[in-house]
């Protein structure tokens, strides 16, 4: 008598790891040791082409929207009560990188999603609702602002026309670059509204490794405030101008860095970073007439983030008056904190427990596409450890067994949400 029992879902960890290695080879720098696939460059196009090829190898329905987001969908076996195809369960992340990056940031979420779909294909199981794997455009924001652009447009937080008109750091227009690399799709952004969204990611921080834990169940994500601050003072001779008569843009910028550390320490939760700073004229014996620098502030509490922003604004007003300089600020990005779906977080925790893995519920310090998709659908994230907390760096590393375990948890969650017994 033949056995008609449905085959169990099994994750092919070897294929996942091999695809991570292959994608990680695209855009590599043999000297620096990392890889660079900045959004919509030729190297990122090569990465996109590879991901699309893997989607087609799984016989997925591949669609590309006007902002270049890539969606590969495994069709469902059923329709809903109204005869319509149910909304998809979506997984995803991004494959663009910063300059000289590691191999895992973003890519792990996309290829982990493909690994889940592969498990369904290998078992011959048609899901009860479609499963979509997404690769969102320009998550890093290394070339075009804002970051997380593709998912933001998908969620309706930025118009597609405004995004297409974004000018990159190299002067290129985003829409023109999409067309140049062949990823200016015709689907309207937001057409594929997920029923639920899951994102698998490396932590990019030190907490899980430091505490000897295997999985992070991400409950919330910090709010992010990006500003560019310009200080206009007066250039003058460094040896002949008394301190009391200076209007020193360099001093004001440096004093602001010190004040930001004070704000962060006193708040207890706010993180503040000055990532770029430039003085003009940039001569050793000339007082800086101009300083331009960026400020990145983050906090899981909207109230505390807003308070820290207000403290910075107040400080800038006072020091401008005291030092006789002009200060202007430009907001580059502002995202409120996100609380992920509690039910999905509970399901992730239950699946982790069933596997006997160590874990903690935690906050994400970095921004992710999931925070944008959470605007339109229940969303949650799964973290695996990052060695040394290092990311955006060629030394970014997570052990192979940790990567496979995280993807297995993702598969368990998807199976549970789609009613497939494991």
CATH number of the domain residue 273 falls in = 3.30.70.360
Q: List the chain pLDDT tens, one digit each, 422 residues.
A: 334 456 789 999 999 999 999 999 999 988 878 999 999 999 999 999 999 999 999 999 999 999 999 999 999 987 777 778 899 999 999 999 999 999 999 999 999 999 999 999 999 999 999 999 999 999 999 999 899 999 999 999 999 999 999 999 999 999 999 999 999 999 999 999 999 999 999 999 999 999 999 999 999 999 999 999 999 999 999 999 999 999 999 999 999 999 999 999 999 999 999 999 999 999 999 999 999 999 999 999 999 999 999 999 999 999 999 999 999 999 988 989 999 999 999 999 999 999 999 999 999 999 999 999 999 999 999 999 999 999 999 999 999 999 999 999 999 999 999 999 87
Q: Kindly state whether residues 178 and 42 are assigned to the same domain.
A: yes
Q: Is residue 365 part of a domain?
A: yes
Q: Is residue 318 part of a domain?
A: yes
Neighbours of 22 (CB within 10 A): 14
Q: Is residue 348 part of a domain?
A: yes
Backbone angles phi, psi at 28, to 5 degrees: -70, 150
Last residue of a domain, one of 280, 314, 335: 335
The gap from C-alpha 308 to its chain's centroid, in whole angstroms, comes to 23
Q: Kindly state whether residues 89 and 152 are assigned to the same domain.
A: yes
Q: Kindly state whether residues 44 and 182 are assigned to the same domain.
A: yes
343 is in an annotated binding site: no
Label residue 114 exposed, middle or buried (CB < 10 Å: 0-12, 13-18, 19+). Answer: buried
Q: Is residue 166 part of a domain?
A: yes
Q: Is residue 349 part of a domain?
A: yes
Q: Kindly state whether residues 387 and 331 are assigned to the same domain.
A: no
Last residue of a domain, one of 335, 365, 396: 335
pLDDT (0 to 100) of residue 5: 54
Q: Is residue 344 part of a domain?
A: yes
Both tokens assigned to 57:
């190898």
Q: Kindly state whether residues 310 and 214 are assigned to the same domain.
A: no
H or E element in which residue 4 lies: none
The gap from C-alpha 232 to its chain's centroid, in whole angstroms, comes to 34
Q: Is residue 230 part of a domain?
A: yes
Last residue of a domain, one of 335, 367, 388: 335
94 is in an annotated binding site: yes
201 is in an annotated binding site: yes
Label residue 81 exposed, middle or buried (CB < 10 Å: 0-12, 13-18, 19+). Answer: exposed
CATH of the domain at 400: 3.40.630.10
Q: Kindly state whether residues 291 and 353 are assigned to the same domain.
A: no
154 is in an annotated binding site: no
140 is in an annotated binding site: yes
The rounded distance, in Å, linking the Cα atoms of 404 and 319 is: 52
pLDDT (0 to 100) of residue 2: 39
Q: Kindly state whether residues 301 and 410 are assigned to the same domain.
A: no
Q: Kindly state whether residues 163 and 78 are assigned to the same domain.
A: yes
Domain of 297 in residue numbering reads as 223-335
CB environment 211-220: b (16+ within 10 A), e (fewer)? eebbbbbbbb
Q: Kindly state whether residues 246 and 229 are assigned to the same domain.
A: yes
Q: Is the distance from CB of 202 to CB of 111 less than 8 angstroms?
A: no
* Helix segments in 218-300, DSSP class H: 249-267
Domain count for the chain:
2
Contacts of 144 (CB under 8 A, 6+ apart): 39, 40, 138, 166, 167, 168, 169, 174
pTM to 2 decimal places = 0.90
Q: Kindly state whether residues 393 and 266 are assigned to the same domain.
A: no
Name all contacts of 271-277 with Cβ < 8 Å and 24+ positions apart: 271/222, 271/296, 271/297, 271/298, 271/299, 271/365, 272/296, 272/297, 272/308, 273/297, 277/253
Q: Kindly state whether residues 264 and 253 are assigned to the same domain.
A: yes
Q: Kindly state whether residues 204 and 81 are assigned to the same domain.
A: yes
Q: Is residue 8 part of a domain?
A: no
């Amino acid at each position: 008598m033949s056995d008609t029992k449905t085959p169990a879902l099994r994750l092919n960890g070897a294929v996942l790891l091999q695809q991570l290695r292959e994608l990680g080879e695209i855009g590599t720098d043999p000297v620096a040791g990392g890889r660079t696939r900045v959004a919509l460059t030729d190297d990122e196009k090569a990465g996109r082409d590879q991901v699309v090829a893997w989607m087609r190898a799984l016989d997925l329905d591949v669609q590309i929207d006007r902002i270049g987001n890539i969606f590969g969908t495994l069709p469902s076996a059923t329709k809903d009560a109204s005869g319509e195809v149910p909304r998809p369960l979506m997984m995803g992340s991004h494959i663009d990188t910063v300059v000289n990056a590691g191999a895992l940031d973003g890519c792990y979420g996309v290829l982990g999603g493909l690994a889940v779909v592969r498990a369904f294909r290998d078992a011959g199981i048609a899901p009860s609702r479609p499963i979509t794997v997404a690769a969102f455009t320009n998550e890093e924001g290394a070339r075009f602002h804002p970051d997380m652009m593709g998912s933001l447009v998908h969620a309706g937080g930025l118009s597609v026309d405004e995004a297409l008109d974004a000018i990159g750091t190299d002067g290129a227009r985003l829409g023109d670059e999409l067309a140049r690399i062949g990823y200016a799709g015709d689907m309207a952004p937001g057409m594929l509204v997920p029923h639920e969204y899951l994102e698998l990611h490396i932590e990019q921080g030190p907490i899980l490794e430091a505490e000897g834990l295997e999985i992070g169940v991400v409950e919330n994500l910090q709010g992010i405030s990006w500003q560019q601050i310009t200080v206009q003072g007066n250039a003058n001779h460094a040896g002949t101008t008394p301190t009391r008569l200076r209007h020193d843009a360099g001093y004001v910028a440096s004093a602001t860095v010190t004040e930001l550390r004070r704000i962060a320490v006193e708040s207890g939760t706010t993180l503040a970073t000055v990532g770029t700073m430039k003085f003009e004229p940039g001569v050793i014996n000339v007082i800086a007439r101009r300083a331009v620098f960026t400020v990145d502030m983050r906090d899981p509490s909207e109230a505390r983030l807003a308070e820290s922003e207000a403290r910075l604004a107040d400080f800038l007003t006072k020091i401008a008056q005291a030092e006789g300089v002009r200060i202007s600020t430009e907001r580059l990005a502002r995202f409120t904190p996100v609380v992920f779906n509690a039910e999905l977080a509970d399901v992730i925790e239950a699946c982790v427990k069933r596997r006997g893995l160590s874990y903690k519920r935690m906050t994400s310090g970095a921004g992710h596409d999931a925070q944008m998709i959470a605007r339109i659908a229940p969303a949650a994230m799964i973290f695996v450890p990052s060695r040394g907390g290092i990311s955006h760096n060629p030394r970014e590393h997570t052990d192979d067994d940790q990567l496979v375990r995280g993807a297995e948890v993702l598969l368990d969650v998807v199976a549970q949400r789609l009613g497939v017994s494991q």
